[in-house]
Amino acid sequence: MDLRHPYSDPSARVQLLYRLPTAPAPRRLLVVAESPELRSEVAAGWGSGEVMACDSAGFLRLATERSDCFDAVALPSTLSARAASRGIRNGHLLRAACRLLTPGGVVVGHLEHARALRRLKRPSAVVQLIAAAFDGDAICGPTGCCRLLRQAGLAAGECYYVQPHMHSPMGLVPSEAAAARAHFLRAVRSARHHWRASGHVVRLALCWAGLGGMLQGELFFWARRPC
């Protein structure tokens, strides 16, 4: 007999992550993403209820016409970890989300972690990170993400590291310094057989220094519009 666990499929786990901060399920959901496939994947997790999807340009237009009309706004891979390159800034998107949410409504999303070690191996990524450091709209890490959420008028913002990655998520790691350091030290020690001795030492040193978050490639966040 072929037994399948409820969340054995990676897409089901992505949908679960997006449902976590929005329980009970919203009656009116807006999904904003550039990729039609990503919009469909996230929207499929809510089942019943009114679901609307659009790209970021359509989202900004909608925010000029309507307000207080969605219980949740999902931004999967919509915000930019680097300086804005397509003329649409993170702050504009988050303020639009705040405007379109009903009081108490939730904005939730994920994005690249600009300080991820695997990305910093590329010289172009280092240049982009330096440029982002001078752009108040860029999101380089959890602190910058929570700051932009507050500036957009959203409250109770939280940001997490995704483990191992958003293509097949298995958990969220708090970005709070002490909790993150303890988690990554345990994780690296328990998985030392996955790497060569040199790779294990580098990862362990990063974790001891409180930089274990650099081992994760994506951030996951949520916040609420104040009531």
Per-residue model confidence as pLDDT tens digits over 108-136: 999 998 888 777 777 776 777 776 666 77
| Mean pLDDT of all residues in 163-182 | 91
What distance in Å separates the CA atoms of residue 109 and residue 93, rounded to the nearest whole number? 12
| Mean pLDDT of all residues in 66-95 | 85
pLDDT band at 87 (very low <50, low <70, confident <90, very high): confident
Q: CA end-to-end span of the chain, whole Å?
A: 50
Amino acid 152: pLDDT? 95
Predicted confidence (pLDDT) at residue 30 exceeds the cutoff of 60: yes
Q: Does domain 10-224 have CATH number 3.30.9.10?
A: no
* Percentage of residues in the chain having pLDDT higher than 90: 41
Residue 10 preceded by cis peptide, ω within 30: no
For the chain, the structural domain boundaries read 10-224
Put simply, whether the predicted model's pTM sits higher than 0.85 gets the answer yes
Residue 67's SS3 state is coil
| Mean pLDDT of all residues in 66-75 | 92
What distance in Å separates the CA atoms of residue 21 and residue 64, rounded to the nearest whole number? 26
